[in-house]
Structure 1
Amino acid sequence: MSRFLGIDWQLIADNHEILLGGLQYSLTLTASSMAVGIVLGCLLALARLSSITPLRLFAAGYVNLFRSIPLVLVIFWFYFLLPFFGFKLGPDKSVFITFAIFEAAYYCEIIRAGIQSISKGQVGAAQALGLTYAQSMRYIILPQALRNMLPLLLTQTVVLFQDTSLVTIIGIKDFMGANVVVASNNGALKEMYTFAALAYFCVCFPLSMLLKKLHKRIAVIR
């Protein structure tokens, strides 16, 4: 049977190359944005916890700004508006920068909460050993905080993977964009959009369940 769950699987098979290419693009964008976003988020979290007022205010303003506006609007900013100021990044670079700096605001709050979950006694013990602030963070605070915040970091990354579908609006052939192309070329909107929903569900739901179990396990250990 070529049809199951209302999907023409032969159509999927005939267009597997473009669909797999789109999935690869989505996963690559997710991984690269996550990596840069976590690094930026960590720096922002440290700035938010800093005793230096300008740094703390800058980080707070950054986080509040990007957590208060829709992601699709930020995509439009970097893709449509930057060329007016002489910055022509192209679609791929613009979406990478968009997702990295946008997700950094969310990763920042997760990392900040993870750092604050470590008791102040740990910080005092590090200072008693003669460690600098940077050494305390690197060797004592951040390794422990990472265990506490790992499930939330990964959960945010699952959300990031779902959000990458928004790049379709500027013509990028990510996984969702590939489905749109196949649907348009074959007049199979219902079939391809159903397949896209099923594919996202099959990726995200099992990951969400695994992360839920990981969160419970870490909570028990802690």
Structure 2
Amino acid sequence: MNFAALSDDWRYLLLGTFPDGPPGGALLSLILSAVSGVLSALLGLALGIALVMGRGRALQCLRVVLGFLRAIPVLLLIFWIYFLLPVLFRIDVPGSFSVVCALSLVSGAYLAHGVAAGLQAIAPGQWDAGAALGLTRWQVLRSLILPQALAVMLPSFVNQWVTLIKDSSLAYIVGVGELSFLSTQVNARLMVHPAEVFLLVGAIYWLMCSALNLLAWAVARRSQPHFAR
């Protein structure tokens, strides 16, 4: 294998045309993953609380919506947002926006169930103790339950963000210049070194995901004292 043939392309794979142009390559993959990670965390937290606190028909509808988002492929949701919204609302939907929306919705649906499980893992006596102090159910959730549950949920959040990095590669299908998209450009130009190109791209994804895996391990280790108590 001749990795020296990629000496002029590694920077393009990492950054795209940045700083002379918009971010691309691995940098854009990280940006898409980071934005989707923040939005999915907020969405998952809100929907997870709704799963625990909701009642009646609203709760049933929420479960149906979350089940639907968890069941459909991310790629299909990207297609729907990118191609269907312009037809329905006569608006231009950028590829990056459609990818972030799809990743945030699907990841948020998965995180919602993790949040709900984390909240339900707290001993019921905590809720009773808060009620005995005269706190409302929402006050107990905010002041007693949620701070304890966050320590349990954080490793799951980080693991879901690792998945987001890998799923960001689906952005190539709508022409977003992230790492997978640029790797196909480099491969089309070189023609004779496909193994080297995609081994390098796989190594970059592995490094990014491994860094987040280490973070997940550190968070889990730091959370161990909470379980001991």
Would you say same fold, with TM above 0.5?
A: yes
Paired residues of 1:75 and 1:94 also in contact (CA < 8 A): yes
Instruction: Return the offset for 1:29.
Output: 1.2
Residue of structure 2 equivalent to 1:205: 210
Output one character per residue of 1:57-108: Cα deviation in whole Å (capped at 9) or x when no partner. 1220111101111111111111122222124322122222111111110110
1:179 matched residue in structure 2: 183
Q: Give 1:12 shift.
A: 3.1
Distance, in Å, in 2 between the alignment partners of 1:7 and 1:123 is: 62
How much has 1:220 moved relative to structure 2? 5.5
8 A contact 1:7–1:192 mirrored in 2: no
**Runs of 4+ residues deviating >4 angstroms:** none
Matched, 1:110 2:114: yes
Alignment partner of 1:178: what SS? helix
Q: CA–CA distance in 1 between the matches of 2:123 and 2:198? A: 48
Cα shift at 1:55: 2.2
- The match for 1:70 is 73
Per the normalisation by structure 1, the TM-score is: 0.88
Gaps of at least 5 residues in structure 1 are none
2:142 pairs, out of 138, 157, 175, with: 138
* Partner of residue 56 from structure 1, selected from 51, 54, 59: 59
Question: Structure 2: how far apart are the matches of 1:52 and 1:112?
Answer: 14
Does residue 152 of structure 2 align to residue 154 of structure 1?
Answer: no
Q: Distance in 2 between matches of 1:208 and 1:195?
A: 20
Identity among equivalent pairs (%): 30
RMSD (Å), alpha carbons: 2.2
Question: Could you state the TM-score of these two structures normalised by the residue count of structure 2?
Answer: 0.86
Contact persistence 2:130–2:144 (CA under 8 A) = yes
The number of residues matched between the two structures is 219
Partner of 1:18: 16
CA 1:51–1:210: 2 relative to 1, 3 Å? closer
Q: Provide the secondary structure at the position in 2 that maps to 1:190.
A: helix
Distance across 2 between alignment mates of 1:13 and 1:39: 34
1:168 to 137, 148, 172: 172
Q: Structure 1 residues 173-182 or 143-152, which shifts more?
A: 173-182
Find the counterpart in structure 1 of residue 20 from structure 2.
Answer: none
